[in-house]
Chain A
Amino acid sequence: MSQPLLKTVGLKKYFKVPGGFLHAVDGVDLEIPRGKTLGVVGESGCGKSTLGRSVLRLLEPTEGQVFFHGEDLLAYDKKQMRQMRQKLQIIFQDPYSSINPRLSVAEIIAEPMIVNKTFGSRREIFARVEQLMDTVGLAKRLATAYPHELDGGRRQRIGVARALAVNPEFIVCDEPVSALDVSIQAQILNLLMDLQRDMGLTYMFITHDLSVVKHISDEIMVMYLGRCVERAPSRELFKNPTHPYTKGLLSAIPVPDLKMRDKTIELLKGEVASPINPKPGCRFAPRCEQAIPQCFEQSGEMIEVAPGHFCSCGCKRA
């Protein structure tokens, strides 16, 4: 197989907090092939957003490497990184705080091009802005409108257009549809998938919504307390969830189907432990029904349980 577009090795991000270190991302290895989507799922506080920002160096990782086109991004100096940023973009969750309320729609989309001096003249920039607005499905008459005149769905389209303005190859989508209504959510998901098909974009799609992640991803990574617990091709993960946490997560989704109505579901007990100075062993062990003493002592290695399907649960093979 050709080299992946993006790859991380042992990526860690710790935050200093009173009383120790918060292990937000704790040794994550991932690979995303060009033109594909890696879905990152997990509950709040599992470090998925920190992972997305560390990959882009919006947060400086504590340890580890991020390879983009085979080159280590973390070895770049400030100037090289600024050049590189055009290839790596991000789309945010909150369509309200992610765009500057004092700039018009056209100004917001033009901003990345002005900053990176992509074009020489104003006319060229404006032509590109119009083209981008068309691509993401914004009417041209909105170019002079201000964000507060627009609804969440349209604002999110502006965010997408802004990310596309610098012709990126890789986009981190950080819960891009979580704040939107279902019907608008579907519009944005379709838009993102169309863009990927037409422009060959590569996505890292961060979300807590399992049905969305299944729909859009080629491969899915499940995170729990800063670690990747399971990684598998999308269909495989839903067919054969292996890690007890993944199983619990999948069974917790309310399905819009009456067949499941009176089925008793296996509820995960308890709550996520604190990510500050975590104990050794499997992070999920305190909530795991199948935990054996070994789980509390050493954390499981990622094992390939099926072709392309990796799981970190140690007790399965013990």
Chain B
Amino acid sequence: MSEKLLQVKNLEIQYKTDLETVYAVNGISFALDKGETLGIVGETGAGKTTAALSILRLLPEKTARIPKGEILFRGENLLLKPEAEMRSTRGEQISMIFQDPMTSLNPILTVGDQIFEALAFHNDTGMTREQMEARVDETLELVGIPRSRKRDYPHQFSGGMKQRVVIAIALACEPELLIADEPTTALDVTIQAQVLAMMNDLKHKLNTAMILITHDLGIVAQTCDHVAVMYAGEFVEYGSVFDLFTADKHHPYTDGLFGSIPNLEVETDRLQPIDGLMPDPTDLPSGCKFSPRCPKCMDICTKQKPTTYQNGTHRIACHLYSGKEVEEA
């Protein structure tokens, strides 16, 4: 079997302050191949962004601890890499796009310069100035911005265009992995559709692997190959996009998420929300972390951590299905 591009194994992340410990990520595992897109879905505080930042080793050094786990990128454990090497990995092999395009651009540099800077910093192949300038033009056109706007400053662009610039910077060095943290949340629907379509195109063109963090199941259905549903720092459900949208069995939390969105096709009088709130990440419930909010909670759920039920690529961490449990591969 060929080596996976990215493999995350049993990753745990905590934030420690003198007052409390926040259990942000509690043992997640996944693998990603070249050209694949993994969607991570979950609500605020589920640990999605923390997990993403850890791959780039961008967690706040003062408070974040990684007590367990491995992040293998092309077989190399990123957690053990020295900072200097990590710096050249960032941007060159792994890039990240943040939610807010307004704050992730430098307001006093032209967009052309910002892309150029990313190229120059990772210029291992010894491109000349002209070659790099040409590459800037190319990248801008790739994301649908005419090259004539190269000399414009960020404030001269609209929100959607800015996010395109951010994507252009992220893609300038043709990274193998792109991490997008809610890339379209700050955009309007019609602009979101444009940006998503563009990202889809680019993914196919460049064969980039992508981790897409979102809270919108619609975006997942339209763009991802694999989906992880994250709750309280754990993947409660993981599988291909077909597993998630067509299989009969689901984690009760996933069912809850689907019940919470108003459906455009089917008329519903009342939404079926999930009761209660996200658990406090400093004081997580024992057993299954979803048990206090779960409509199908059983005795065992509050006492014992659920084992994983697996059916093909589909994994569900829930006691409901534990009778039919299959050994994890």
Contacts and interface: CB of A to CB of B under 8 A. Distances in A.
Real complex partners, A and B?
yes
B32 interface: no
Contacts of B218: 253-256
Interface of B is mostly: helix
Given A182-B257, A215-B262, A255-B264, A44 B219 contact: no
Nearest to A266: B193
A212 B218 CA distance: 13
A256 B190 contact: no
A50 B217 CA distance: 30
B136 interface: no
Given A254-B196, A255-B218, A211 B189 contact: no
B272 interface: yes
A172 B192 CA distance: 27
A186 B189 contact: no
B271 A256 contact: no
Contacts of A208: 188-189
Contacts of B107: none
A249 B189 contact: yes
Interface residues on B, range: 35 or more
Interface of A is mostly: helix
Interface stretch (B62-70, B241-249, B300-308): B241-249
A260 interface: yes
A256 B256 contact: no
Given A256-B258, A258-B246, A183 B274 contact: yes
A151 B271 CA distance: 21
B265 A182 contact: no
A254 B221 contact: yes
Given A181-B215, A183-B43, A43 B264 contact: no
A261 B161 CA distance: 25
Given A44-B188, A183-B273, A190-B273, A267 B194 contact: yes
Contact of B270 (A190, A254, A272): A190
Nearest to A183: B274
A126 B274 CA distance: 30
A260 B277 contact: no
A126 B267 CA distance: 40
Nearest to B293: A183
A258 B242 contact: yes
Interface in A164-196: 181-187, 189-190, 193
Given A43-B188, A215-B268, A271-B158, A252 B273 contact: no
Interface residues on A, range: 35 or more
A114 interface: no
A255 B43 contact: no
B245 A258 contact: yes
A267 B222 contact: no
A182 B215 CA distance: 8
A189 B220 CA distance: 23
Interface string B213-237: 0011111111000000000000000
Contacts of B261: 182, 186, 211, 256
Contact of B264 (A183, A253, A265, A267): A253
B263 interface: yes
B132 interface: no
Interface string B179-193: 000000000111111
B260 interface: yes
A257 B194 contact: no
Task: Name which of B160, B241, B260, B268 has the most chain A CB atoms within 10 A of its CB.
Answer: B260
B35 interface: no
Given A211-B264, A249-B189, A267-B193, A257 B270 contact: no
A214 B197 contact: no
A148 to B, nearest CB: 15
B27 interface: no
- 8 closest A-B pairs by CB: A254-B218, A186-B273, A215-B262, A252-B193, A186-B260, A43-B188, A181-B43, A256-B217
Interface of B: 43-44, 158-161, 188-194, 196-197, 215-222, 241-242, 245-246, 256-265, 267-268, 270-274, 277-278
